[in-house]
């Protein structure tokens, strides 16, 4: 199977099954026979077409005798694939993009595909809606983000800031490693990984290029993958050696790992997750890193465990969220309707209401998400504080970052991180 044929197959499966691309792509590439260059092309095409899907469909609607939504899935996906190469990949000659794409579809559709792709080569660049006719439709097509999400961001951030955020989602984010300082210093690891750079905010991270598993030190457990904002969340928690820490929604485990490393592998960490089948991710990750203080258990964060009431020095609630901070890494989220996440704030508050009961007097509670929506972030924290006067926000320092307000939303157009939220609270009285 050629690289383009595999990309077409993966894109069709993702659209039909509504599944995350990274899992399907990793499985396909690890079990296939393609060379390194072709594997890179597959990844570029799959992620690129997904990221630009609305923009590409708008071109199809302008160039085809039939709108994109009326075309059968295989033809529509092939047209997206061909147009993406013509519009966004300078290194692929137009004739190759056209011919290879036409060869992917059945004979009855080849004339249509060939005509649409060649029509684009004769067109005067990319077609976009007129901004004067509506900011939301323009931004939606310009940055390929679903209209409901675009409208939601506009209502929260306004026009200028929303466009800045949407533009940042189009920049390829670096892969960020958290260094396992139980075994190596950041400087030592950086010297061994070509083209790696220290993270600008976190003191323990490296930005790298290439496949993670092929990097120096992976098998030896010298690092694990963790976005810089997530690393800063661990710093905000501030766990020390010998303490007891509860990580309420832990999988796949990076914050538990980072906390254990900060604790110098001394103390106790209980890592919980709703799904028991995910716990091996924590256990195997800890083993690779040489961490022995983590214990993994299945539990719904809303389910109170009375044996741990008031027993934890620090509790981390990295709650399930809409994910609207990470569309740059998970492009499928660009098309998710915020209305589908309307029930999440109540679930998040329920987890927070339960988890706070584990914090000892004077202990720390950290609440975090990987979204930028206020109802899941600041509004949730404010509601929690209104009903829990025994807690108060506390300023924190994390790496090179100082947060006086005690809570902060990381926006990807301002910080070199995922979109993220973190709040640090101190228990100052009895419930």
Segment 182-231, tens digit of pLDDT: 999 999 999 999 999 999 999 999 999 878 988 999 999 999 999 999 99
Give pLDDT tens digits for 344-369.
999 999 999 999 999 999 999 999 99
Give pLDDT tens digits for 267-294.
999 999 999 999 999 999 999 999 999 9
* Predicted local confidence at residue 154, as pLDDT: 98
pLDDT band (50, 70, 90) for residue 336: very high
Cα distances (Å, whole numbers) of residue 238 to 234, 255, 263: 7, 12, 9
CA distance 14 to 132: 34
Cα distances (Å, whole numbers) of residue 250 to 82, 169, 315, 327: 40, 26, 11, 21
- pLDDT score of 18 more than 70: no
pLDDT band (50, 70, 90) for residue 38: confident
Give pLDDT tens digits for 151-173.
999 999 999 999 999 999 998 88
Residue 415 gets which letter from DSSP?
A: S
Nearest C-alpha neighbor of 117 from the set 48, 49, 64, 58? 64
Fold agreement (3-122, 229-427): no
CA distance 271 to 254: 11
Nearest C-alpha neighbor of 400 from the set 169, 218, 199? 199
Token duo for residue 95: 């004739």
Give pLDDT tens digits for 376-425.
999 999 999 999 999 999 999 999 999 999 999 999 999 999 999 999 99
Token duo for residue 307: 């044996």
Residue 177 parent element (H or E): strand 175-179
Residues serving a catalytic function are 370
CATH topology of domain 3-122: N-utilizing Substance Protein B Homolog; Chain A (1.10.940)
* Predicted local confidence at residue 19, as pLDDT: 63
Give pLDDT tens digits for 226-246.
999 999 999 999 999 999 999
Residue 213 parent element (H or E): none
Structural contact between residues 232 and 399, judged by C-beta atoms closer than 8 angstroms: yes
DSSP string, 38-103: HHHHHHHHHHHHHHTHHHHHHHHHHHSSS-GGGS-HHHHHHHHHHHHHHHH-TTS-HHHHHHHHHT
Tell me which CATH homologous superfamily contains domain 229-427: Vaccinia Virus protein VP39 (3.40.50.150)
Which value, in Å, is the radius of gyration of the alpha carbons in the chain? Answer: 23
CA distance 203 to 99: 49
pLDDT band (50, 70, 90) for residue 127: very high
pTM strictly above 0.85: yes
pLDDT band (50, 70, 90) for residue 20: low
Structural contact between residues 318 and 233, judged by C-beta atoms closer than 8 angstroms: yes
Considering only residues 40 and 322, tell me which one the structure prediction assigns the higher pLDDT. Answer: 322
- pLDDT score of 16 more than 90: no
User: Can you give the residue ranges of every domain in the chain?
Assistant: 3-122, 131-168, 229-427
Cα distances (Å, whole numbers) of residue 144 to 56, 151, 355: 8, 13, 38
Residue 411 gets which letter from DSSP?
A: -
* Predicted local confidence at residue 246, as pLDDT: 98
Nearest C-alpha neighbor of 12 from the set 69, 63, 103, 75? 75
* Predicted local confidence at residue 26, as pLDDT: 75
């Amino acid at each position: 199977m050629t690289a383009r044929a595999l990309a077409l197959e993966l894109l069709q499966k993702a659209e039909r099954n509504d599944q995350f691309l990274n899992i399907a792509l990793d499985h396909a590439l690890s079990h296939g026979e393609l060379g390194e260059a072709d594997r890179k092309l597959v990844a570029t095409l799959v992620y690129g077409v997904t990221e630009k899907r609305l923009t590409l469909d708008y071109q199809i609607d302008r160039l085809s005798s039939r709108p994109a939504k009326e075309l059968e899935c295989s033809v529509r996906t092939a047209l997206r694939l061909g147009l993406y190469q013509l519009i966004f990949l300078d290194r692929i000659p137009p004739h190759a993009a056209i011919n290879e794409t036409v060869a992917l579809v059945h004979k009855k559709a080849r004339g249509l595909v060939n005509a649409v792709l060649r029509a684009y080569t004769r067109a005067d660049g990319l077609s976009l809606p007129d901004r004067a006719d509506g900011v939301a439709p323009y931004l939606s097509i310009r940055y390929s983000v679903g209209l409901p999400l675009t409208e939601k961001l506009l209502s929260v951030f306004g026009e200028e800031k929303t466009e800045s955020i949407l533009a940042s989602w189009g920049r390829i984010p670096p892969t960020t490693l958290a260094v396992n300082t139980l075994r190596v210093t950041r400087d030592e690891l950086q010297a061994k990984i070509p083209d790696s750079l220290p993270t600008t905010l976190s003191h323990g991270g490296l930005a790298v290029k290439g496949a993670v598993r092929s990097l120096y030190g992976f098998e030896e457990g010298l690092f694990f993958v963790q976005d810089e904002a997530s690393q800063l969340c661990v710093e905000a928690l501030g766990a020390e050696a010998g303490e007891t820490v509860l990580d309420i929604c832990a999988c796949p485990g990076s914050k538990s790992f980072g906390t254990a490393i900060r604790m110098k592998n001394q103390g106790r960490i209980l890592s919980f997750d709703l799904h028991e089948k995910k716990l091996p991710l924590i256990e195997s990750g800890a083993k690779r890193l040489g961490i022995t203080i983590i214990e993994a258990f299945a539990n719904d964060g809303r389910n109170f465990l009375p044996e741990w009431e008031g027993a934890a020095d620090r509790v981390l609630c990295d709650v399930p969220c809409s994910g609207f901070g990470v569309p740059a890494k998970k492009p499928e989220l660009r098309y998710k309707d915020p209305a589908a996440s309307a029930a999440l704030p109540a679930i998040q508050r329920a987890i927070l209401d339960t988890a706070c009961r584990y914090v000892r007097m004077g202990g720390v509670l950290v609440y975090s998400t990987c979204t930028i929506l206020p109802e899941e972030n600041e509004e949730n924290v404010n509601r929690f504080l209104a009903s829990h006067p025994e807690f108060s926000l506390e300023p924190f320092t994390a790496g090179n970052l100082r947060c006086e307000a005690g809570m902060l939303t990381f926006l990807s157009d301002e910080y070199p991180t995922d979109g993220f939220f973190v709040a640090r609270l101190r228990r100052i009285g009895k419930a």
